[in-house]
Amino acid sequence: MATETTLILFKPDAVSKNLVGTVLSRFEKEGFKIRGLKMMSLSDEILAEHYAHIADKPFFPEVRGFMQETPVIAMALEGDDVIAKVRDLLGPTDSKEAAPGTIRGDFGDKGGEAKMRNVCHASDGPETAAAEIRRFFHEGEIH
């Protein structure tokens, strides 16, 4: 097993529903280690960079608006095969498809915004994780 570090963003729905501690405890119970943790408001620029793959889509302003509803909590999480394991813990992006017992299945929106209001973002691979960690954390903020 490879030790990796991934980025987790606790989205505005997790923050506004007071789910951050509950979800964080699930990650800690798996033995993952927090390497960095901070609350931040997301600028238009960081969101355009983070969502570059959809920034030209007509629904992007809605995504940007949602991600700016409240500050988010960015976390760098380390562990063996943490990227795949976190994605399994979260469940599918669409909360309506997420099984009970997964984070999105238990806490995600089951209505029309189930793909957006799904509690957390998590990196999908090692290269993406490295780029996302650099995007959300400055030098010296990862321990």
Task: Name the residues annotated as catalytic.
Answer: 121
CB atoms within 10 A of CB 143: 10
Q: Which residues of 96-122 are buried (b: 16+ CB within 10 A; e: fewer)?
A: eebeeebbbbbbbbeeeebbbbbbbbb
3-class DSSP assignment, residue 100: strand
For residues 6 and 86, the answer to whether their CB atoms sit within 8 Å is: yes
